[in-house]
Amino acid sequence: MSSTAPVSLTRFLIEEERAGHINAELRLLIEVVARACKTISIAVGKGALGGVLGDAGQGAAQINVQGEAQKKLDVLSNEILLEANAWGGHLAGLASEEMDHAQPIPDVYPRGNYLLLFDPLDGSSNIDVNISVGTIFSVLRCPEGVTRPDDSHFLQPGHAQVAAGYTVYGPSTMLVLTVGHGTHAFTLDREVGSFMLTARHLRIPEETKEFAVNMSNQRFWEPPMQAYVADLLAGKEGPRGKDFNMRWVASMVADVHRILTRGGIFSYPLDAKCAEKGGKLRLMYEANPMALLVEQAGGAASTGRERMLDVVPKHLHQRVPVFLGSKREVETAVRYHTEHDAAR
C-alpha cells in the first residue's frame, strides 16, 4: 500500500492508537459516533423526501429540556446516537441536549470507561430551510469506580475532554475531530461510505477580518460587547484600523467550521434576554467541544472573561457566553470585557 493512499478515519485512528494518543476503547467510541453520523447524514440528506422535516409533534412531549420545540430530526438523531452507543462496551454513560438527565448504559450491556455528551442536531431550526446543521460531541473519562454515572459525573471542565468533534451536514458531510493532538477534517466518501482524511492539523489564522454574531441582539448586549462590535463596524476609519466582514449562519457547527477553515471570530455573548440563564449556548456539548477543537487548531475560546476550557460546570445543561476563533481577535474581544470590568 503506497504511503500516498488516501487515509480513512479507521486508518487515522489506528495510527493515533499506535502513537499512544488514544486506546482501543476510545478508537471504537469515535468509530461508533462517526458511523451514527453517517446514518444521520442520510436522514438529513433526504430532506422533504424523508418525511422527517418539521416539528416532532404537538404537546409538551415535544418541548425539550431547553424549552425548545423538537424537530423530528432532533428526535431521530438522538435515537440514532443512543442506539449506536448502547451495546459496544465503550461507554459508562451518555448525555444529550435532548434529554433532561444523563443516562448510564443499560445494565444488559457491558460498560466502558468513557462518558459521551452530544448535541445530536445543532442548528435544527435551519433544517426546514435547507441550511447546514451538525452533530457535536464531547468525550470525558468516567470517574474511577463509577459504574452508574449520573449528571454529577459529567460535570468536568472542558480541559478534561479526551476527544471532541462535530459532523457538519452541508454540501459535503465532514467530520472534524481532535483527540488532543491537533484538529483534523474528514470528508464522507458517500460511494465508499467512509470518512476520508482531507485536512490534517487545521490552523486558524491568528488575525481575522470576519466576525460572526447575531446583530439583532445588539441592543441587549453588555456595554463592552456593544463597544467591541461598534469598533468592528467602524472599520478602517475606526480604532481597529481595518474593515471587517460579517457572517451569521445561525448554525454553530457551520459558523465554527468556516472559522476552522479560514479564520474569524464567533460570538454568542450574554444579552439581556438570556443573561439569567447564563447565555444561549450550552457549555458541555456545544462550547466545550468547539473550544477544544479551536484551541487544538491554534485558536482561542473564552466566555469573554475566562478561558472556556477552565469553566467548572455546575449543571449538565449550563449555558455560557461564547467567543471563539482567531486567537488575537478573541484576545481583543476579551480585553474589551476585562477593561470594562476593571473600570467599574
Tell me which residue has its CB nearest to ligand P6P: 252
Question: Do the annotations mark residue 55 as ligand-binding?
Answer: no
Number of residues that bind ligand P6P (CB under 6 A): 9
Q: Given the rule CB under 6 A, which of 35-43, 246-254, 313-321, 331-339 is the region that contacts ligand P6P? A: 246-254
Instruction: Check binding of 250 to ligand P6P (CB under 6 A).
Output: yes
Q: Within 22-173, where are the H helices?
A: 24-46, 72-86, 151-154
Integer Cα distance of 158 and 233 in angstroms:
32
Choose which of 16, 74, 98, 122 interacts with ligand P6P (CB under 6 A).
122
Instruction: Check binding of 279 to ligand P6P (CB under 6 A).
Output: no
Cell 460498560 locates to: 111
Integer Cα distance of 180 and 199 in angstroms:
16
Q: How many C-beta atoms lie closer than 10 Å to residue 178's C-beta? A: 21
Q: Given the rule CB under 6 A, which of 52-60, 146-154, 202-210, 244-252 is the region that contacts ligand P6P? A: 244-252
| Strand arrangement of the beta sheet that strand 245-246 belongs to | 245-246, 210-212, 265-268, 322-325, 300-302
Instruction: Check binding of 251 to ligand P6P (CB under 6 A).
Output: yes
Rounded to the nearest whole angstrom, what is the least distance from the CB of residue 166 to ligand P6P in the complex? 11
User: Among residue numbers 149 through 178, which ones bind ligand P6P (CB under 6 A)?
Assistant: none
Question: Do the annotations mark residue 172 as ligand-binding?
Answer: no
Rounded to the nearest whole angstrom, what is the least distance from the CB of residue 214 to ligand P6P in the complex? 4
Q: Given the rule CB under 6 A, which of 36-44, 117-125, 151-159, 167-175 is the region that contacts ligand P6P? A: 117-125
CB-neighbour burial class of residue 125 (10 A; exposed 0-12, middle 13-18, buried 19+): middle
Specify whether the CB–CB gap between 253 and 123 falls below 8 A.
yes
Integer Cα distance of 70 and 93 in angstroms:
23
Binding residue numbers: 97, 119, 121-125, 214, 280, 286
Query: Which spans of this chain sit near ligand P6P (rule: CB under 6 A)?
Result: 122-123, 125, 214, 250-252, 268, 281
